[in-house]
Amino acid sequence: MVTTTHRLFKSTLSIAAFLPLGLSFCAQAEQHQHAHEHGIAEMNLVVADGNILVEFQSPAYNVFGFEHKPHDETQVQKMHQQVHAIKTGALLQPSLAAQCQFELAAMHNPFATENPAHGDEHKKYTERHEHEQHDDHDAEHSSQHKNIHFEYAYHCQKPEQLQHLDASALFKAWPQLHKVRVQQIIGNQQSASELTQSKTLLPIQ
């Protein structure tokens, strides 16, 4: 069964594939470790035929305030809170008048396998933590750079009303984030811009 998200991605990426900008972080992530900068994130944006595709990558530090497996309950809760905000699409908001339907297309959390669930799993996590402290410390030094990656798809019922993408909630939720470098394709036009804590609206025209 073909989901709405798959249809949106097929429609949007079929256009992006013929344009000069390479949009996939996944294929280039390991080749661009030097781009890992605390306080800075990268966003790719494609807008075409009433569809919006957002691909976002950020150092985990910008999101959680740390780049290691959660050490205590406070960090566990912080991670859950931020992951929930990403999954619900609360961080980026297209123009309300455009009536855009949001779907989370993909997400990569480098600590997902370490996320304690509720109940017994959480208890097991807590019980084994003391025995893993020294191992965790060594592991952190061997692999410190961790990135969060997510992809959003939107279908806008009134694309003619699409004026901007509002990232104010993103900067509010991630106080460690200072700048987002944006590569965008709108229709057949390619451009680059930046979002900052004082400039949170990305024009879409």
- For 84-110, the pLDDT digits (tens) are 999 999 899 999 999 999 988 889 999
Nearest CA to 155 out of 89, 91, 200 is that of: 89
C-alpha span between 45 and 183 (Å, rounded) = 6
Supply the pLDDT for residue 130: 44
Question: What 3-state class would DSSP assign to 39?
Answer: coil
C-alpha span between 15 and 13 (Å, rounded) = 5
Phi, psi of 172 (to 5 degrees): -70, -40
| Per-residue tokens: 4 | 């709405």
Average pLDDT of the segment spanning 182-204: 94
* Sequence spans of domains, the chain: 4-203
In this prediction the pTM is 0.72
Average pLDDT of the segment spanning 164-185: 96
Q: Is the pLDDT of residue 183 over 60?
A: yes
Q: Is the pLDDT of residue 115 over 90?
A: no
Q: Is the pLDDT of residue 45 over 90?
A: yes
Q: Is the pLDDT of residue 178 over 90?
A: yes
